[in-house]
Each structure stands twice: as structure tokens, then as C-alpha cells.
A and B are shown apart, each in its own frame.
Chain A
Amino acid sequence: DVVMTQTPPSLSVAIGQSVSISCKSSQSLVYSDGKTYLHWLLQSSGRSPKRLIYQVSNLDSGVPDRFSGTGSQKDFTLKISRVEAKDLGVYYCAQTTHFPYTFGAGTKLELK
């Protein structure tokens, strides 16, 4: 199985700060069609996960452009600019290139 390693496991931030979360995979996430199926999700406390970004860098509808995703092959980053209180929760990266689909262990974003 593809292992997804997220760092850091937790982040303490002040409102208005910018943060980055790293996600590294044990195998390249480039599929045979040339596309990369790496996605980012946010799970706010007590709620279902919500997808924010798909295929590395595409923002889902309604997701503010304070969020951005970059990366390629095995190394990916989620950046959040000007953190707001509603951004708090656990961020997961997930890959759907290889079976079985796998998730990172999560990065908990909390207020400093």
C-alpha cells in the first residue's frame, strides 16, 4: 500500500498567519494517464471530512483562494494564507492513484 506521510502532526497558529502542510507518498502518484490523484480534505471537529483540493491544485467550489496546493510525483504541500478560525481542524491528504486508496495520518491545525 502507498504510505502517505504528513508533517507536522500538529500546528499552532495565530489568526492571520500562513501555514504549510507537507504530504509525502511512498510511491509516485502519477497515474498512467499522466494525471496526479492527490487530494486534500479538512475535518472540522465532530464533522465529516470535506474535500478542499483535488488533483494536487484544483480548489473545490466555495473554497477560498487562501488555500493552495502544489507538488508533484511524491512530494506535495498545502498552504493556507491568512488563517481564519473556520480553518481549524484536521487536514488530510489522500491518494486515489493506487489501490487501495490511502490517507495521511492528518495534521491538526489549532489556535495558538
Chain B
Amino acid sequence: EVQLQQSGAELVKPGASVKLSCKTSGYTFSNYYMSWLKQMPGQNIEWIGNIYGGNGGTGYNQKFKGKATLTVDKSSSTAYMDLSSLTSEDSAVYFCARGPWFAYWGQGTLVTVSS
């Protein structure tokens, strides 16, 4: 069974950075892309970017370049997303979703940016 287990909720101060994780099981990590997505309360879903589990190759939504950095650790079948220079506009639920085409989703991580 494919499972994506995301890290717990984060409360971070403006200007800080945070690293979210998405630990996977039930499939060959290296064979698939992992997307990261953002959903603000009551709002639409935005695609941040994706990363290939095999070689770490990435593709980003231009809107999130400089804000998000995607990495993987093949040894632990885990995908990561670093979010930097956080502001209130970054407060949202962040999802990881495996390809192809968002076939499986993590449970989401709530990030709250507040002083």
C-alpha cells in the first residue's frame, strides 16, 4: 500500500525558514515524481513544483522559485521541501502528492507564520 506520511504542524516566526518532510512507503521511491502543493484556508490548490525520486531533478512553478527548495533522500524514501523567508502569505496547508498526476497524497502539514 502506497503511503505518504508528512511531518507535523509548524508554528514559525516571520522571516524564518522551515523544512517539511514527506516519508513514503509501499512503492519504489526512485521511480516516481513527487509534487508539493499549497492550499490556503478556503482557497484553491497551487502547484509548487516537483522532484524526481531517482535523480533529484526538479521543476518549479515560477511563482515559488526562491521560496521553495525541493530535495529527496533516497536512502530513507523521503521528500523534503524547504520554505524560506516566511511571511503571513505562506501560512497554509502543504501537501506532497506522488505522480503520476497526483495519484497519492500525504495528509498535509499546516504551517502557521506568526510572531
Residues of A within 8 A of B (CB): 37, 39, 41, 48-51, 54-55, 60, 92, 94, 96, 99-106
Q: Which residues of A contact B63 (CB under 8 A)?
A: 100
Q: Cβ of A101 and Cβ of B106 under 8 Å apart?
A: no
Q: What string of 1s and 0s marks CB contacts (under 8 Å) between B83-111 and chain A?
A: 00000000000010100111101111000
Q: Cβ of A54 and Cβ of B105 under 8 Å apart?
A: no
12 A–B contacts, CB within 8 A, in A order: A37-B101, A39-B102, A48-B105, A49-B97, A92-B45, A94-B101, A94-B102, A96-B101, A99-B61, A101-B35, A102-B47, A104-B44
B59 interface hit (Cβ, 8 Å): yes
Q: Cβ of A41 and Cβ of B102 under 8 Å apart?
A: yes
Residues of B within 8 A of A (CB): 35, 44-47, 49, 59-63, 95, 97, 100-103, 105-108
Closest-CB distance, A8 to chain B (whole angstroms): 16
